[in-house]
């Protein structure tokens, strides 16, 4: 998960998700490789999809064809794994740097199932598809198509 800079300079104190997750490779809970390295993870060559993006117990997460839809993943990141700049229209893409849980704010989410309303790369991105709507509460995140879930990466 990224955090946005709070000052005037875009990278002054931003935290980029891609810098926090190690160099790879990454595997899911069942040992299936997700990506070999940071570049592959943030490219079309990654293996994040509805069959591999499992929960911590190795179970599938509801995709957008299931009820309730839980395909949104909280990331606060652009497709390359970096934080958004702290300026319009990206004033808040991290629910206030992950401190808000009410009716205000928004967060960038991706789609674990790589499915979107249109067949464009941004709509099907695992880490940067659209922002949440209606705030940062659990109810708002569920209304967007998620459940406030996030994808974990562990480094040895």
Q: What is the DSSP string of 26-58?
A: EE-TTS-EEESSHHHHTSTT---STTT-B-TTS
pLDDT score recorded for residue 93: 94
pLDDT at 19: 94
- Residue range(s) defining the domain that contains residue 90: 1-20+59-156
pLDDT of residue 71: 92
Q: Could you tell me if residue 66 is inside a domain?
A: yes
Is 46 domain-assigned? Answer: no
Is there a domain that residue 121 lies in? yes
Residue 8 within any structural domain of the chain: yes
Give me the residues of the chain with pLDDT under 70, please.
7-11, 153-156
pLDDT digits (tens, 9 = 90+) for 32-59: 999 999 999 999 999 999 999 998 899 9
Residue 120 confidence (pLDDT):
86
- How many structural domains comprise the chain? 1
The pLDDT value recorded for residue 107 is 94
> Do 134 and 107 form a contact (C-beta atoms < 8 A)?
no
pLDDT at 105: 92
pLDDT score of 11? 65
Report the alpha-carbon distance of residue 129 to residue 117 in Å, rounded: 10
Classify residue 36: in a domain, yes or no.
no
Determine the pLDDT at residue 62: 94
- Does a structural domain hold residue 31? no
98's enclosing H/E stretch is: helix 95-98
In a domain, 38, yes or no: no
Q: What is the pTM of this model?
A: 0.88
50 within domain boundaries: no
User: What single string gives the DSSP state of each residue in 104-142?
Assistant: S--BEEEETT---SSSSHHHH-SS-SEE--S-SSHHHHH
Among 25, 28, 19, smallest CA distance to 1 is for 19
């Amino acid at each position: 998960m990224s955090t946005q800079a709070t000052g005037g300079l875009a990278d002054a104190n931003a935290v980029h998700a891609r810098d926090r997750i190690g160099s790879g490779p990454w595997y899911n809970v069942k040992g299936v490789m997700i990506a070999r390295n940071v570049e592959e993870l943030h490219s079309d060559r990654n293996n994040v999809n509805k069959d591999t993006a499992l929960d911590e117990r190795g179970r599938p997460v509801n995709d957008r064809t299931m009820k309730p839809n839980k395909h949104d993943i909280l990331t606060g990141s652009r497709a390359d794994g970096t934080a958004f700049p702290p300026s319009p229209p990206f004033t808040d893409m991290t629910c206030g740097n992950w401190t808000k849980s009410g009716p205000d704010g928004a967060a960038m989410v991706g789609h674990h199932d790589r499915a979107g309303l249109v067949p464009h790369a941004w709509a099907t991105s695992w880490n940067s598809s659209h922002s949440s709507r209606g705030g940062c509460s659990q109810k708002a995140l569920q209304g967007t198509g998620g459940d406030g879930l996030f994808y974990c990466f562990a480094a040895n």
